[in-house]
Amino acid sequence: MINQEKIECFAALVTRHQRDRLKKEYPSIFASQPDYADARIKPGKKYTKVDVGRSGKFMVDAEGNIFGIKGYCVIHRGKKYGTLDTIAKYFWGHYNPIRLPD
């Protein structure tokens, strides 16, 4: 079972990184649609979905592994981005997360 506190922390970090990038690269879009960068949590039977704006972005399995998606509600096992315990090792603001140097 996924730790709710960790998934909320992950969503907050994704939101912060997405907002920072959007403010810097697209200030007019951010001014008119600030919620465009907000992450939302949607629990499911097998996976918890973390959507950004109006689009699907990440899926988290029961063990806390974070994956990208192929399509909405379709996990992409080839795009694994660490776990809920390693979220601080990535920048979540770009299209694909970027691993930060250790």
pTM for the model stands at 0.90
* CB distance 17 to 24 below 8 Å: no
Q: Which residue has the tokens 């997405």?
A: 18
pLDDT digits (tens, 9 = 90+) for 6-40: 999 999 999 999 999 988 988 887 778 778 889 99
Q: What is the predicted pLDDT for the residue at 67?
A: 97
Q: Residue 73 — very low, low, confident or very high, per pLDDT cuts 50/70/90? A: confident
Average pLDDT, the chain: 91
**How far out from the chain centre does Cα 43 lie?**
14
